[in-house]
């Protein structure tokens, strides 16, 4: 059970830019460490596969704290994205 201060909401099409920006922001340190940071590539890669129904936004005190994506497969669930600010 989640604490009252945490809510999960389904993403909408209008969340695309905001979530793409968050992906770039959260990936930046790791990708810079390995010399592979390309903000445009990270953004475009996310937007090309963005399906709002698969994404849950994590709200903490009504502010976005992160998001995750789960894809349903015939025999399992697949965690496709997990980004926490």
The per-residue pLDDT for range 21-50, each reduced to its tens digit, is 999 999 999 999 999 999 999 999 999 999
Alpha helices in 34-75 (DSSP H): 39-48
Give the pLDDT confidence of 37-84 residue by residue, as tens digits.
999 999 999 999 999 999 999 999 999 999 999 999 999 999 998 999
Collapse the DSSP code of 85 into the 3-class scheme (helix H, G, I; strand E, B; otherwise coil) and give the result. coil
The torsion angles phi and psi of 77, rounded to 5 degrees, stand at -105, 145
Tell me what pLDDT residue 24 has. 94
DSSP state of 5: T
C-alpha of 36 from chain center: 19
Residue 79: what pLDDT? 95
| 62 within 8 A of 4, measured Cβ to Cβ | no
């Amino acid at each position: 059970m989640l604490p009252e201060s945490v809510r999960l909401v389904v993403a909408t099409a209008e969340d695309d830019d905001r979530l793409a920006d968050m992906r770039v922001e959260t990936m930046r340190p790791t990708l810079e460490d390995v010399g592979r940071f390309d903000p445009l590539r990270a953004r475009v890669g996310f937007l090309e596969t963005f399906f709002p129904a698969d994404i849950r936004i994590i709200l903490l005190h009504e502010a976005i704290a992160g998001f995750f994506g789960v894809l349903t497969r015939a025999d399992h669930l697949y965690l496709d994205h997990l980004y926490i600010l």
